[in-house]
Structure 1
């Protein structure tokens, strides 16, 4: 459900089943350079998709927020305004 929410936000005309890479998060290592090279608008769209993923269940955990902050820092992209305020711990 979360993956589909992110896909609908970033690529609304593209449907793809959820299929995590066999290497897990290590697979991101080879993608960072391409993601860092995205245009600013595309970075914002990617972050909006990530926000849709972590918001899909209606609960944003501290771990999810910290991961999103890390992604934003790596992309040199601001944290979405709706998350700029501190989030209570759960």
Structure 2
């Protein structure tokens, strides 16, 4: 009988209690976001990081999520620019 490995609980910001994205690089859901949703989440992440009240581990997860969101927004903008240039 195989022993079941417990799944880790989502990390939580120690200040606000909000869930922090994992630091294992799983940001697959970003690809499904609209430009506006990704931009709004990125703005929120930047504000949380600038606040300075997030711990190091949580900050790293937020930073990685922010990088994925920024890349997604840049892709949206590049595609929009390409369509306008046609």
Q: Same fold (TM over 0.5)?
A: no
Q: Which has the larger radius of gyration?
A: 2
- Normalised to the residue count of structure 1, the TM-score between the two structures is 0.40
- Give TM-score scaled by structure 2 length: 0.42
